[in-house]
Amino acid sequence: MNTRTKSDGLAGLENLSRKYGAVPVTVAFGDGIGPEIMKASLKVLIQAGANIAIEPIDIGESLYLAGNTSGIGPEAWDSLRRTKVFYKAPITTPQGGGYKSLNVTVRKTLGLFANVRPCVAYHPFIATKQPGMDVVIIRENEEDLYAGIEHRQTDQVYQCLKLISRPGCEKIVRYAFEYARARGRRKVTCFTKDNIMKLTDGLFHRIFDEIAADYPEIENEHWIVDIGAAKLADTPLAFDVIVMPNLYGDVLSDVAAQIAGSVGLAPSANIGEQCAMFEAIHGSAPRRAGQDAANPSGLLLAGGMMLAHIGQPEIAKRVHNAWLKVIEDGIHTYDVFKDGISKQKVGTAAFAEAVIERLGQMPETLRAVAYEGASKPFAVPQAKLRTPARKELVGIDVFVHATKPVEELARDMQATADEIFALTMITNRGVKVWPEGLPETFCTDHWRCRYLARPGKQFNKVMIVDLLKKLTYMGVDFIKTEHLYTFDGEAGYSLGQGQ
Ligand code: NAD
């Protein structure tokens, strides 16, 4: 399917949207239900008065299947770099290996570091487990395990690298506080697992505490993510804005959207220093494609976030309040339709028409949105580089593929130590197994052998090269190394569990 086919139904709308001063917006009609919900959403936005100039691009399934494993081509990148605003319908990632996630590619390539997901309940008009819920999840969007750096290192063990950077944490945490301040929110909560990942999640938490001090009028708190998630599912009213690293945010924003009512209603904004992308959080629901049945609400509300972003908050407000009125009037698509609550079951196009008919009206029971603060957009935090810390090499972790008993491995590895450095520890999957390991500990074929400089001695990279040479001659199958540094005297590496 090509772009022309997908955007066919837009012929009239494109003309309507080409007014003087129209803001260029790159639009992808997506796959599955994408073209239907995108056309419906654009129709509402434009009827409400959105002044946008639509630049359609083709991405997703058709490109994947034509052999483009990234799902996006050079013309689409040109458009995105030109408009810097992307309104995107969901796309289908074909089954099977080899296809990279287009979402992750776009987010990371355009530096869209903040993923903003409001999760709101529409009680009593849409069934919800949590009436009154109104939580905004701000998920870090570029780092963490989503760096996608994975390796198989031994017969038994695979690895995924979790990368967390100081500029990355500073940007997302400051964004969360700026968002809270601009939108009149009272509290920002941070979720991490820093009781286990003391360096990576520890950095996120530390920076949260540092930055929170710059916003004394906003309450702040930190929860360990597991109990925080349980509390969020059980008592979401305890939270307001929650900021978290990528993986937790990915999982918990879907959970929060579903608890609020339905993932089909939830929009998201992906914000960067220069570009921004707006989309629904759900996928392309291929089984519903072409039936005029899908709910366009998530994408439509994302369109509202886009209008606020490009300086048209009044239009966003018009769309959002008309949408709330439709929800109140019980005009619902099949996914949220409930006998006894809903009044009329409609398809995608009729739902959009119902919103258009109510443009200018306000909800009576649900809280009308004001887009407060959206008209005074806040500065997106820029990455700041600091004076680098004094870095000193103090040792090395050598990872080894071996199936021998740990005592034998320790003897081999100790044979390479000298008067400068010593073998201090061997761990297996992070647990110390030498010296003084327990026979109960299950061991795989993947060992970490830690060498540290002896007191008063200096370690250097030539020693590392010599050490690896010795290991090679001895037939030790080392599979990777990690240098151990101190930064301004503070250890830049974790201890082994049990050490
Ligand atoms: P999905 O969100 O597409 O669908 C899950 C179910 O939710 C569907 O069966 C459908 O019944 C329902 N649903 C979703 N959106 C709806 C809507 N707007 N109206 C009514 N019902 C709706 O998830 P999936 O089935 O796991 O994924 C399908 C495809 O979408 C996959 O190829 C996946 O890779 C892709 N996907 C894309 C995005 C994106 O582009 N942002 C996000 C998630 C999944």
Give the pLDDT confidence of 150-181 residue by residue, as tens digits: 999 999 999 999 999 999 999 999 999 999 99
Which class would CATH give 129-260?
Answer: alpha beta
Nearest atom within ligand 1 for CA of residue 102: 40
**Residue 80 and residue 86 in contact, taking contact as beta carbons nearer than 8 Å:** yes
Backbone angles phi, psi at 129, to 5 degrees: -80, -15
Confidence of residue 9 (pLDDT cuts 50, 70, 90): low
Query: Does any ligand 1 atom lie closer than 6 A to the CB of residue 93?
Result: yes
CB-ligand 1 contact for 282 (6 Å cutoff): yes
pLDDT at 21: 82
The CATH 3.30.70.1570 portion of the chain extends over 391-491
Query: Is the CB of 262 inside a 6 Å radius of any atom of ligand 1?
Result: no
pLDDT over 60 at 38, yes or no: yes
- What's residue 377's pLDDT? 61
- pLDDT 10s digits, 358-414: 999 999 999 999 876 554 567 788 877 889 999 999 999 999 999 999 999 999 999
Q: Which CATH superfamily is domain 1-111+262-372 in?
A: Isopropylmalate Dehydrogenase (3.40.718.10)
Residue 192, pLDDT above cutoff 60 = yes
Q: Where are the alpha helices (DSSP H) in 239-340?
A: 246-260, 297-309, 313-328
Q: Which CATH architecture has domain 391-491?
A: 2-Layer Sandwich (3.30)
Query: Residue 487 and residue 497: Cα distance in Å, rounded?
Result: 22
Q: Where in the chain is the domain with CATH 3.40.718.10?
A: 1-111+262-372, 129-260
pTM above 0.75, yes or no: yes
Return the structure tokens found at 287.
Answer: 């089984």
Q: What is the pLDDT of residues 404-453, one digit of tens each?
A: 999 999 999 999 988 899 999 999 999 999 999 898 999 999 999 999 99
Task: Please give the Cα distance from 306 to 312 (Å, whole number).
Answer: 9
282 C-alpha to center of ligand 1: Å? 5
**Closest Cα partner for 117 from 258, 310, 230?**
258
From the CB of 288, is ligand 1 less than 6 Å away?
yes
> How remote is the C-alpha of 434 from its chain's centroid?
38
Q: Is the CB of 51 under 6 A from ligand 1?
A: no
Asked whether 277 lines ligand 1 (CB < 6 A), one says: no
Residue scoring higher pLDDT (1 or 279): 279
Highest mean pLDDT among 143-147, 401-405, 495-499: 401-405
Query: Residue 392: beta bridge partners?
Result: 486
Angle, helices 297-309/34-47, rounded to nearest 10 degrees: 50
Which residues pair with residue 450 across a beta bridge? 397, 425
pLDDT in the model for residue 383: 77
Cis peptide before 124 (omega within 30 of 0): yes
Q: Are 202 and 233 in contact (CB under 8 A)?
A: no
Residue with CA closest to ligand 1 atom 20: 294
Is the minimum distance from the CB of 115 to ligand 1 under 6 angstroms? no
Distances (CA, A) of 437 to 256, 433, 496: 42, 4, 12
Is 289 touching ligand 1 by the criterion CB < 6 Å? no
H/E element holding 220? strand 219-224
Q: Calculate how far, in angstroms, residue 92's C-alpha sits from the geometric centre of ligand 1.
A: 8
Å from CA of 438 to ligand 1 middle:
48
Round to the nearest angstrom and report the end-to-end CA distance of the chain: 59
- Residue 91 CB–ligand 1 contact under 6 Å: yes
Ligand 1, from 29, 88, 141, 282: best to mutate by most atoms within 8 Å of Cβ? Answer: 282
The answer to which of 87-91, 136-140, 182-186, 314-318 has the lowest mean pLDDT is 182-186
Find, among 352, 295, 304, the residue nearest to 44 by Cα.
352
